[in-house]
Structure 1
């Protein structure tokens, strides 16, 4: 297949931008804003004490100078750094239906990045296989979002394998300011719990798992030649054998159960998207759950 021309790349990204910005304007801007806290408080002004004010906020120096109690008032610093840590290993190219996993990742990032930019937040990108493939520091502006989308859709990774551990180790090294971090992967990897735990202690981390239906349940399609795009290994398997179907589903179920438990233990939010799921519905549900938790102070 020939590589897309610059004009074709611009046209594809332009269509995605228009579609996404309409969704952000209609739905997601307010939901995004109310789902994430600012990164702290900064001093705004002092004013005279009023009934109900917290005595801990009294500015004793100003109060002594003016002869009446005055309190300090603070405003939330709204600006956020939003980072996308994106798996571009060979398994993310897989898909039995449209959109494939890589395209689904682009759609999700488009919604989240334009929602962030509509709230004056910065967006950045870390792309990984079993090594760092691309790093874009957090910046403002729609051009930054378009650059991220171009890389997610068209970057040709140098390696095929996966190392979430390497990606998270890099993120822990370079992310100094508290950030909102979205990790987009099929999470077909292991050994990354420690750096993920460290990342979640310092940042607001959300894991978004993208899976094809065929990765969750073997299709009843007779003998198939199964190919691992990362290792190049092949295996002939009779997918119509009930015992093989059940063994495969039991293994996948255990992996998913372990992942869910591990993420909950580390206080990492989790969204699982299958090929037939609506990412728009999943993100709206996620934002609603976040808002509810914030209201309840959890």
Structure 2
């Protein structure tokens, strides 16, 4: 997951925080093409040390590290077993936070293919699931829907604009709609 931010006062400083269940890398905000190329290179080459996700750790680090108000893009799949609501509220009191969920549509439902081995990439635990069971597929779809609803409620409660973008979608359309809905702030 990534926390990207830019200084709103001059609109040309950019920085990034890479995180998992810990802060993996922090690139402080700076100006210039050379700095932006460094960030792009890091985005392309970055491999996290840990596999877990703890958004509250990133938000806490972010609010401690940056005192000046800025616009922040919190980019994640938001699959996090930790409650990050409190840290998100604190971040939103100091900064303009925009959440962008990136997800794979294959993660939203289970196909009817019989026995399937599923591995949690964060914990490494595996188990076999019978996807032929309609009840199992419905339970999984319900879990996805409830998780999405909970995430949306958290963002609304914290007054965070957000967009969900599937990996196979044209992200430009979703981002344009997000910014159109935000209007001028």
Instruction: After TM superposition, give the deviation of residue 120 of structure 1 in Å.
Output: 5.1
Q: How does 1:219-258 map to 2 (within 5 A)?
A: 219-258=111-150
Counterparts in 2 of 1:137 and 1:209: CA distance versus 1, 3 Å: same
What TM-score, normalized by structure 2, do the two folds share?
0.91
User: In the alignment, is the contact (CA less than 8 A) between 2:72 and 2:95 conserved in 1?
Assistant: yes
Cα deviation per residue 1:234-288 (whole Å; 9 max; x = unaligned)?
1111222211110111111111101101101110111101122210111111121
Tell whether 2:5 aligns with 1:86.
no
Q: Which has the higher helix share?
A: 1
Tell whether 2:93 aligns with 1:201.
yes
User: In the alignment, is the contact (CA less than 8 A) between 1:127 and 1:135 conserved in 2?
Assistant: yes
Q: CA RMSD in A?
A: 2.0
Whole-angstrom CA distance in 2 between matches of 1:289 and 1:131: 33
Secondary structure in 2 matching 1:173: helix
Tell whether 2:171 aligns with 1:279.
yes
Tell whether 2:62 aligns with 1:171.
yes
Whole-angstrom CA distance in 1 between matches of 2:15 and 2:182: 22
Cα deviation per residue 1:35-80 (whole Å; 9 max; x = unaligned)?
xxxxxxxxxxxxxxxxxxxxxxxxxxxxxxxxxxxxxxxxxxxxxx
Tell whether 2:19 aligns with 1:128.
yes
Q: Runs in 1 of length 4+ with deviation above 4 angstroms? A: none
Whole-angstrom CA distance in 2 between matches of 1:239 and 1:146: 44
Provide the aligned length of Structure 1 versus Structure 2: 182
User: In the alignment, is the contact (CA less than 8 A) between 2:161 and 2:182 conserved in 1?
Assistant: no
- Aligned equivalent of 1:159: 50
What TM-score, normalized by structure 1, do the two folds share?
0.58
Instruction: After TM superposition, give the deviation of residue 220 of structure 1 in Å.
Output: 2.3
Q: 1:267 aligns with which of 122, 145, 159?
A: 159
User: In the alignment, is the contact (CA less than 8 A) between 1:120 and 1:140 conserved in 2?
Assistant: no
Whichever of the two has the greater Rg, that structure is 1
- Aligned equivalent of 1:145: 36
Whole-angstrom CA distance in 2 between matches of 1:191 and 1:287: 27
Q: 1:192 aligns with which of 73, 84, 93?
A: 84
Whole-angstrom CA distance in 2 between matches of 1:275 and 1:155: 19
